[in-house]
Chains A and B, each alone.
Chain A
Amino acid sequence: MPTDPTKAAIANDWAHGRPLVSCRIDPSGRFAFAGSEDFTVRRFNLADGVNIGLAGHDSWTKAIAFSKDGAQVVTCGYDGRMIWWPIEGDAPQPVRTVEGHRGWIRSAVVRPDGSLLATAGNDLVVRLWNVADGSLVKELPGHEKPVWSLEWHPEGKFLMSGDLGGVLKQWDIDAAQVARTFDAKPLHTYEGGQQVDFGGVRALSFSPDGKYLAAGGLHKGTNPLGAVHEPLIMLFDWDAGTLVRSHVTEGIPGGGVWSLRHLADGTLVAASGGSSGGLLLFFKPDADKEFHRFGLPNILRDMDLHPDGARIATAHHDGHLRVTSVAAG
């Protein structure tokens, strides 16, 4: 569907009673699944906004992925647990539960061919699972700080994993080894006065043609504990492995990128949340600054793109799931 981000407008605004921390839209485009601070995952019907709760985790759920056929959703919690659920039904029950990680699972992505689910989080190990039966296929250790984000290259041969320290690894899955490492250190801050590591590679997205890899997070963390930091996206040339540019912003002293998605025309959408509010930022690969920004009514914490390519779902602290249309015309 043709898009024009300058025409962005909220199309739907649905409330759940508790803050939301994540959201993903299923491949069929019927549902948005959103993790809540009440430990449930909410399934929002995108036709009417009705939501039901999936209760199976002992913590918040930040990572959500789907089987390629759209029949199942895998919710991966901060309890280290992975739960397979049927997408359909009035009251979905767990199909399978796997204790996948020690501590938080922060990211989960399914390989483009639908065969493997990659997960990672605080235990520093990237794990690959058979989507069909939940069996462990491979472990990819090597990160020295918590892994925040994962993304498959569109061709499915390589998996990217980014950590708190700004280390971005390209894994050759067949060889189960690191093929390349990208330097995303500007996304990491160590603030000596406060004695904290901060930032990290919080979001990844490949352009539809596979030419660019975007890695998002934050920089200028002059007061990490006080929410003073600005959004930053590093755009890499995939073939060369070099930095093309850094997408930066002005007038967002309290922002950081929680999610990245590419529209079909190559426009990069960055979801920024922080003390400056919830913002959708739209970038072209040939310019440092965004060509448009769209302010949302409440701070956002995650974002996903609808399969129609023209709707953007965002999860908010006020418990709302909002759908923003960027359709042209």
Chain B
Amino acid sequence: MKCRYACGTKEHRIARRSFLGTVAAAGTGIAVGGLGVFTRPAAAAQLAAGQKRIVVFNMHGGLSQLESWDPKPKTDTGGPFRAIPTSVPGLHISELLPKTAQQMHHLTVARGVDTSEDDHGKGAYLMMTGRRQTPGVDYPQIGAVAAKTLAPEDSPLPGHIVITPGGGGGRGGDAAYLGPRYASLALGNGNPPPNLDRPGSVTDIAEAGRHNFRRSVNDRFLSRRRTALTDAYTHSYEQALRLMAQKDAFDVTKEPAADVDRYGKHDFGRHCLLARRLLEKGVTFVQVSHANYDTHNENFDFHLEQVGEFDGPFATFVADLASRGMLDSTLIVVLSEFGRTPNINLYYGRDHWSRAWSVVMGGGKIPRGSVYGATNANGTEVTDGKVDHGMLFHTYLQAVGVESTGTFDIDGREMPIADPAAKPIEGLVA
């Protein structure tokens, strides 16, 4: 990909200011988002205090809204689970979420989500990018947008991290025209990036010499032929060095044993604790994936298993962010690619359903302890407060102070940060 931007150019600085203006005006008194102004440790501490963050819990496969945020007990679609009261008077959620129920005063449930897309891949794309997939065009995911708009320029850690349930790792292809610098760094099963330790045979002097030589050669080359790829190349080297110095950020075993116990010693508990650690270390965007909810067969047993695993660590995470004063600066989102059918099929399963499902948000400017939108008695259609992926995407960004109706300057071309045909949900970020 040819260069579509030039970090540090006058035009780029202006463009960045245009969409960061709202953050600066958000009452913190400091500009957040990496203008490169705050580079001294004292200022960095101040910056960290106002740093906005987003954490997304991605419930892969399609979480059933009926077994989570919008139960319909004792109806033809309700299934066997009951609804339980929460810490918000009048708000009931599934009995599969007893611990989360006690944290609902921090959260908002959007119950009127209609994305009209029942395909896994397309549904995931529109929920993560806020736009419908279009041939020949690719859009950056929310993590890449957050990293570009919110992450400090000189952050020693990547701005976009995805914690996946399985193995693997490396960089994702999810930044589109924002460039590889904002692509996700995947931590397979919560493991740190590989090769963080310098080989013992390389001395400090040798290491410094190697990098000085690399930088001088790079500088000469970049003065003539700068592209997005060369920028990313250079950045990745420098970030790798900073990562090596910050490797403890990825080491969840450094957390207190009591916290490990509170989150649970299974993978998802460890991933949630790692997410908390990364956010506290200054990572701008963390996605925690939980799988698998694609329950065409035996939906209730699998939700019992999966939501049961999700409930405790997630509730602990929300409570911790609240008690640590991080909720004002951190947006929490729980989403899927779609929900599941109100109809219960022959195999006790529920199938793909995008016409009436739920997304949960909390923190930032999102109201605490509320419900937005509603479905009918048996959950088959939205009756109030219908929202879609585009509106949600705007809302996520505005909840952390990004003026989502602004544009990116991509090599002189204005690219809307979010779908210009959509607007934020006024009731949530007005």
Partner-B contacts on A (CB < 8 A): 18-19, 37-39, 58-60, 78-79, 104, 122, 146, 192-198, 224-227, 274-275, 298-299, 317
Which of B200-208, B228-236, B342-350, B385-393 contacts the other chain? B342-350
B310 to chain A, nearest CB (A): 12
* Interface residues of A, dominant DSSP: loop
Q: Establish whether residues A225 and B82, one from each chain, have CB atoms under 8 Å apart when the complex forms.
A: no
Q: Which A residues touch B306, using CB under 8 A?
A: 195-196
Q: Once the chains are docked, how many angstroms separate the CA of A189 from the CA of B82?
A: 28
Nearest residue (CB) in B for A318 is B346
Give me 20 other A-B pairs in contact (C-beta within 8 A), A104-B80, A195-B292, A225-B295 excluded. A37-B76, A37-B80, A38-B76, A58-B82, A59-B80, A59-B82, A78-B80, A193-B166, A193-B292, A195-B165, A195-B306, A198-B298, A224-B298, A224-B302, A226-B296, A227-B347, A227-B349, A275-B297, A298-B346, A299-B346
A231 to chain B, nearest CB (A): 14
Contact flag A225-B302 (CB < 8 Å), given A59-B82, A194-B291, A195-B292: yes
Nearest residue (CB) in B for A59 is B80
* Interface residues of B, dominant DSSP: loop
Q: Establish whether residues A317 and B305, one from each chain, have CB atoms under 8 Å apart when the complex forms.
A: no
Nearest residue (CB) in B for A77 is B80
Q: Which A residues touch B188, using CB under 8 A?
A: none
Q: Once the chains are docked, how many angstroms separate the CA of A79 from the CA of B166?
A: 34
Q: Establish whether residues B305 and A197, one from each chain, have CB atoms under 8 Å apart when the complex forms.
A: yes
Nearest residue (CB) in A for B81 is A59
Q: Establish whether residues B61 and A225, one from each chain, have CB atoms under 8 Å apart when the complex forms.
A: yes
A108 to chain B, nearest CB (A): 16
B98 to chain A, nearest CB (A): 10
Q: Once the chains are docked, how many angstroms separate the CA of A235 from the CA of B292?
A: 32
A200 to chain B, nearest CB (A): 9
Nearest residue (CB) in B for A227 is B297
Contact flag A196-B302 (CB < 8 Å), given A59-B81, A59-B82: yes
Q: Which B residues touch A194, using CB under 8 A?
A: 291-292, 294
Chain A proximity mask over B142-154: 1 for CB below 8 Å, otherwise 0? 0000000000000
B382 to chain A, nearest CB (A): 24
Q: Establish whether residues A275 and B347, one from each chain, have CB atoms under 8 Å apart when the complex forms.
A: yes
Is B176 at the interface (CB under 8 A from chain A)?
no
Residue with the greatest number of chain B CB neighbours at <10 A, chosen from A58, A78, A146, A225: A225
Q: Once the chains are docked, how many angstroms separate the CA of A308 from the CA of B73?
A: 39
Q: Once the chains are docked, how many angstroms separate the CA of A193 from the CA of B167?
A: 11
Q: Once the chains are docked, how many angstroms separate the CA of A298 from the CA of B61?
A: 28
Q: Which A residues touch B346, using CB under 8 A?
A: 275, 298-299, 317
Q: Which B residues touch A225, using CB under 8 A?
A: 61, 292, 294-297, 302
Q: Which B residues touch A38, using CB under 8 A?
A: 76
Q: Which A residues touch B295, using CB under 8 A?
A: 225
Q: Once the chains are docked, how many angstroms separate the CA of A19 from the CA of B73?
A: 16
Q: Once the chains are docked, how many angstroms separate the CA of A315 from the CA of B305?
A: 25
B243 to chain A, nearest CB (A): 28
Q: Once the chains are docked, how many angstroms separate the CA of A317 from the CA of B298?
A: 13
Q: Once the chains are docked, how many angstroms separate the CA of A192 from the CA of B166?
A: 8
Q: Which A residues touch B74, using CB under 8 A?
A: 39, 58
Q: Establish whether residues B292 and A274, one from each chain, have CB atoms under 8 Å apart when the complex forms.
A: no
Q: Once the chains are docked, how many angstroms separate the CA of A39 from the CA of B79?
A: 9
